[in-house]
Amino acid sequence: MASFTVVYDACVFYPAPLRDLLIRLARTRRFRARWTTQIHEEWTRNLLANRKDLTRQQLDRTVTAINNAVEDCLITGYEHIIEGLKLPDPNDRHVLAAAIRVGAAAIVTMNLKDFPNTVLNEFDIFAQHPDDFILDLADLEPPILECVAKEQRANLHNPSLSTQEFVANIRRQGLPSVANFLEDRIDLI
């Protein structure tokens, strides 16, 4: 069913609400979401450094749940590509190498400047902000985002959120267009 592949960058896994939304969207099989163990190591390392209330065991369980939620999500065999790539931040080359390895159409990232079109065009890959990526999915099939958002909100128990609070939280994740989309359909979520 999935007609295109995307690679999720570490930064979109870092905030739990965005991570949850993107994993739920991946489970719809409207596209194929992929990532690497190295991408998981990056976001978990940063989260552990910034959140002293979390433990390695908790994040390991989260990583396992993420990997189990999306079939065939882990990319391997990309490491040999890394050395030949040039990006503004050499530490991001592994993400591009993984995208090349699986023939991804896009890298979903908050850090667009780290993946310039001048480099990505050579590989027929583009970088896309998650706000634009999710809105593009919603434009193609609005009920998908409505259903996923409703499901995500229904699963929040600590604390539960009203629809308005949920939309405000989506906006705080750096997804203003997605928040506007959901606000226009607030009675459906």
Contact 31, 4 (CB under 8 A): yes
H or E stretch at 135: helix 130-140
| pTM of the predicted protein model | 0.95
Q: Helices 37-50 & 56-69, crossing angle to 10 degrees? A: 140
Domains and CATH numbers, the chain: 5-128 (3.40.50), 134-188 (no CATH)
- What pLDDT, in 10s, does the model give residues 31-53? 999 999 999 999 999 999 999 99
74 Rama sector, left if φ>0, alpha if ψ -120 to 50, beta otherwise: beta
d(CA 113, CA 61): 31
- What pLDDT, in 10s, does the model give residues 52-91? 999 999 999 999 999 999 999 999 999 999 999 999 999 9
pLDDT value at residue 2: 62
Please say if the pLDDT value at position 123 is more than 80. yes
